Amino acid sequence: MAVRPIVRFPDPRLRRKAEPVGEVTDEIRDLARDLADTMAAAPGVGITAPHVGVLLRVMVIRLEGDPGPLTYIDPEIVWFSPERSRQSEGSVSMPGVIDEIERPARVRMRYRDLDGTSREEEAEGFRAICYQHEIDQLDGIFWIDRLSRLKRDRLIRRFEKLHRP
């Protein structure tokens, strides 16, 4: 379909909560295809509709071993494990910087697929981290909000220095 422009930090849309999709229409399927194309071009392993300025609860993820990009409509985490893990994270909206975030090691997610069928999936490891990261974005929580104030301020300065004209 098309590669869309990515909203860059500190755009306020990155901290706005996305709206539920409701009916899965051809327009939503087109958006999902555009998200997959945009994610591949970025490059990235996950992207949400808010990353391209569309405040709807749609996310696309493609990890190593996946048959292709996987689309999740109106995803929500319904269970978190008590065990935690640390993983380096970044964002297509804040390229060039990463930092370590601690999150639950396993999750169970409820969502709908592109046919509108309700599904539930349990994930662990990097996939669980990706689900949490992208669902945070849909909830208006930008990934750096999970860092301490000191780490967040340092990361923002590093990002600004990287992207200074």
Catalytic residues: 134
Contact between 119 and 111 (Cβ < 8 Å):
yes
The position carrying tokens 């990515």 is 6
Whole-number Å distance between alpha carbons of 83 and 14: 28
Residue showing tokens 């380096």: 88
3-state secondary structure of 62: coil
Sorted by sequence, the CB contacts under 8 Å of residue 68 that are 6+ apart come out as 36, 62
Closest alpha carbon to 56 in 77, 25, 78: 25
Which residue has tokens 């994930």? 123
**Lookup: tokens for 92:** 């297509």
SS3 state of residue 104: strand
